Structure 1
Amino acid sequence: MSNKVTLTQFIIEQQRGMPGVSGTFTLLLNDIVTACKKISHLVNQGDLIGILGNADSENVQGEVQKKLDIISNEIMVDALKWNGHLAGMASEEEDDLISIPERYPKGKYLALFDPLDGSSNIDLNLTVGSIFSILRCREGVEPEMADFLRRGSEQVCAGFVLYGPSTIMVLTTGQGVNGFTLDQEVGEFYLTHPAMKIPADCSEFAINMSNQRFWEPAVQRYVDECVQGEDGPRGKNFNMRWIASLVAEVYRILTRGGVFMYPYDYKDPTQAGRLRLMYEANPMAFIVEQAGGACSTGRERIMDIRPEDIHQRVPLILGSMNEVERIVAYHREQQQNREK
């Protein structure tokens, strides 16, 4: 292990080539890492310490919170509020922006996070994770909502941590994507997946088939072609996966390719989509694009969207470049047919 590169060493070396980035960025990431280590420990403990099951509360999206949702959010906030590197925070689990207490210094970054993605899996002992995004903030100001509502293309850093058989952090600062595995005995993340790349072609797709009757024609067409396999117009067989955990879906795509779809559907026409732009879609889009993949709503690039609300939802289609482009083309044809 002595020859392995630690996450801290990797970030220090990488930030030397990032204009305008100082050591405070490394310290901020270290605090996020510390929070994720604590969450990883709690996930591994589970029922041994009585933290599984539902809490008697709902989040701003009206979803029933798990006990570990609340605990993970508290861990993340407590790790980041005092360090002097942040001007403010936003969490999927909280209605409003999270201010830095007056007694602590304020920094030049903003952090947005989903402290426990895929928490519906936690009681089943399936994979869950944390997702985070970092933006720059105007220095010397108390951040307002407009400071957070920025396009994904303005992110300084994005990452997620997978709490599975091993704990893995996937990170980008706009210079490619790298994966780090936590050595539980040492308490340190080591570089184990350098320069992760998503192949442009694939033969695997992930979608919740129970919503099939609510899909738009473009998605119906794409999935039908995949299901037909070598007997259909694609001329090859596809496998289907669905884990119901975005971190697990994206990690699988980063390691072997594929496409993930949580498209717009007619099940609830009042919702523009299911996944959160600021806490899920934007950071994952940054990571996927840096790994050579693509990320879209089906109609527009995710990282080009100008946010309107901190808890805004969007459709999400991401993964292997050629498959995402095919799905986008089908949406384009669908729109053209409607306009005829």
Structure 2
Amino acid sequence: MSAALAGLARRRLARDRPALAALASLVLIALACLIGPSLTGHPPERIYPDVVRVAPGLAAHPRPDEVRPALQRLAFRMRVSLEEVVQDGDRVRLTLTAQKPIDLRAFRLLPRSGLFGEAAVRERSADGRRLVAEVPIRKRVFLLGTDALGRDLLSRCLAAGQVSLLIGLTAALAALLIGVAYGAVSGMAGGRVDALMMRLLDILYALPFVFFVIMLLVFLRAGLWLVLVAVAAVEWLDMARIVRTQTLSLKGRDFVRAAYALGLSTESVIARHIVPNTLGPIIAAATLLVPRVILLESFLSFLGLGVQEPATSWGVLIAEGSRAIESAPWMLAAPAGFLVVTLVALNRLGDGLGEALDPRL
């Protein structure tokens, strides 16, 4: 693609405001997924057992009515009895009793809960079976709520976005490289070689995707690598047909004949003339390929064949949310929202690039 055509495509794209809005949305989502988990204040894998399935909101937890139940659960794990709880602002004064002397090491459970800080012992009986301690309260805000284990859903969605976008870009890049090489070679070869290569594509098209994934389970464990291999192995087929069609229309042009007359090999003609002149359709198709890959990954993760714990993806979160849709609908709405916005933005950007790079316009 020449510099003049590239500049013309940029000007066309700059006038397409919906495509620019889609591009801005994708940049914001990518930045949020990249740096967001470190800014939320909640590690994605951190479990808060006392705030399970908390609804989205700006309220800080624990609320005043949640302090005593949370402390009672911790006291049970500490094997002590909670006699009195006096809350004063962001601090709470506890009176604990036990049948045996209270081991101070049990107070480590308080900061591990994530809602309370280190305890300071103020009074202790001579036999050690009764003591008074002051504990600071750590306020936590969960903008998108928490899941069934008490993990912050916003942090989980952003961390899942890293995996989903990585799978989408990596598998799409692999499919792009395979499809461009296969389609260019098939189109340039022509004749029986082209017919044989296209029949192989038809065979691969006829193979059901889920059946292919089940076959891969014989060699690979369910997880990230299975998704990458499965998606990259089938998503290059459309790209190969697009590049083959473009190559068939270009190989009879005068500049290709001139390249052969100058003594260039077929490999050089493909690399220096055929592929650069098909970049417009390739870029547009590649942009539309990424959302397809992300959707396939979500489908596999929904079936339990994709990303496995402790890693997560939008597909995994959607599968978890679908099982709790009645009691905690936000567990489904949050990751589904990220996925829908990303897919719509990628598709709209692909349409805009296709229009901007179309030489007929």
Determine if the TM-score, normalized by the shorter chain, exceeds 0.5: no
Higher helix share: 2
Q: Which has the larger radius of gyration?
A: 2
* TM-score computed with the length of structure 2 as normaliser: 0.22
* TM-score computed with the length of structure 1 as normaliser: 0.22
Higher strand share: 1
**Higher RCO (Cα < 8 Å, 6 or more apart):** 2
